[in-house]
Structure 1
Amino acid sequence: MPAVDRAPHTVLPPTDLEAMLDLSTFLDHQTEPAALVGPDGQTVPLPLEAFTVLKEVADAMRQGRGITVAPVDQALTTQEAADFLGISRPTLVKLLEAGQIPFERPAGGRHRRVRLADVVAYQEAQRTQRRTLLDEMGGEAAAAGLYDASAENYAEALADARRSRTTGLHEA
């Protein structure tokens, strides 16, 4: 059996997306995992986890997006981690130094390494925090009547909401 390459591997979508669209549409209509059929006719059941990943890959490529496959224990450079998060390397370094994302320095090395799993965990925590804040802001806007305010009264209602939020923060 050949050795498995554990390095990240990026695949760009095909130039003709028609076949990817067909595959994605087919997979969207499947309710349970299918099977793979080899060139010799041998059939192997596709585990649910592999089926789910295949659906996600086909959907992303149908949208013209490339896919990178990497093990979660993959060590990233600070630049790779920053690129993954869509932030600058100096911003990432600030997050590392603030303890928001764990990192390691190889023995005798001065370069930081970040595990992909830790970067993904940080990204998920940020998403959750953003969703929570947006939900709170939406609730506050509804309570302040901003959704019901007319265009003429909106600026005044917004100013009132800001004042009450600022007063609440100072009292807390």
Structure 2
Amino acid sequence: MPVPFIPTPADTQDAQRHLQQLQRTPPTGRLAGLLEQLLEPLAAGKAVQVLTLDDEISTQQAAELLRVSRPYLVKLIEDGRLPHRKVGPRRRLHLEDVLAYKAGLDAQRQAALQALASDLQELESD
């Protein structure tokens, strides 16, 4: 289990300084976004936790990544919505498959929010 990094006031000031440097001369690519996502909560004095994942993850790790219960994730697997393989009695999922499923969920949520916002604007204009 990863241990959270709880910043000291000096860490917070250092993160604020580095975040300002990033904003002045931002690096390009995906790494820039990752650095910013890491430094923003640190600059606000919040604890962060960094977790490294293998290519294959356990059902518990996948459930935590999707922010669902493990029994619900197992149901998704049994319904054929998430591919997996068995290693002995345990199920293993490819991280890429779990992230693709999460991206699909996020897209559905975004579409539902857009539809709701459109409906609200329509109601306000009536």
TM range (shorter): 0.7 to 0.9
Aligned to 2:66: 85
TM-superposition CA deviations, 1:28-52 (whole Å, max 9, x none) = 121446xxxxxxxxxxxxxx55444
- 1:50–1:15 CA distance, 2 compared to 1 (3 A): same
Matched, 1:132 2:114: no
Letter in 2 for 1:125: G
- May I ask how many residue pairs the two structures share in their alignment? 123
Q: Larger helix proportion, structure 1 or 2?
A: 2
Matched, 1:147 2:102: no
Alignment of 1:67-106 (within 5 A): 67-71=49-53, 73-106=54-87
The percentage of counterpart residues that share the same residue type is 26
Q: Which runs of 5+ in 2 are unaligned?
A: none
Q: Which runs of 5+ in 1 are unaligned?
A: 1-7, 34-47, 150-172
Runs of 4+ with deviation above 3 angstroms: 8-11, 48-53, 140-143
- CA RMSD of the aligned region, Å? 2.6
Rg larger in structure: 1
TM-superposition CA deviations, 1:124-171 (whole Å, max 9, x none) = 11010111122223333444xx2246xxxxxxxxxxxxxxxxxxxxxx
Aligned match of 1:111 in 72, 90, 93? 90
**Whose RCO is larger (CA < 8 A, sep 6+)?**
2
TM-score, L = length of structure 1: 0.59
TM-score, L = length of structure 2: 0.77
